[in-house]
Amino acid sequence: MTRFVTKTEGKSREEAVQEQFAATGNAAGFCSRALIEGETTIGYELVDLKSGRTVLCAMLPDRIPSGWNEELQHGKYSFSREGFAFAETIIDKALEDGATVLFLDEIGKLELKDSGFASLLQRCAASGSELVIGCRRANIAKIREQFLTE
């Protein structure tokens, strides 16, 4: 089974994902948190929903910290290898620990182009665990068609 979480009136997708995570037993996964400076989103960090640990995942090119290890560029953001590795580690541990519900946030255009978290989403879909996917409402049908065979 797969549930989708989208932004709602008065609630960010991150808030909605975290709310559903808090109400779900035997779950693990990650969500994306925007890093905002003034009126500008300068990047995103991934949040391990169980531990609260964070790792930078995407940054505007003029905000990239020292030691940034770029995996790819998409749109106006540079994505770090460490961010993708962090997500993999979270899901690997969840599967090893027998989590029955897996949360993956920010599934979208990158994944629909077989990049980003695409291979991780494929692994999760094949695991037999229930999935909770954070995405834009406009991408739900495409994600179902490309990744889910329910």
Angle at 129 between CA 117 and CA 29, to 5 degrees: 50
pLDDT reading at 130 higher than 90: yes
Average pLDDT, the chain: 95
Task: Measure CA 81 to chain center.
Answer: 14
Residue 150's pLDDT band (boundaries 50, 70, 90)?
low
Record the pTM. 0.94
What would the pLDDT profile of 109-126 be if each residue is shown by its tens digit? 999 999 999 999 999 999
Amino acid at 54: T
Q: Dihedral, CA atoms, 20, 109, 9, 77, nearest 10 degrees? A: 100
Q: Which two tokens stand for residue 102?
A: 């897996």
What would the pLDDT profile of 75-111 be if each residue is shown by its tens digit? 999 999 999 999 999 999 999 999 999 999 999 999 9
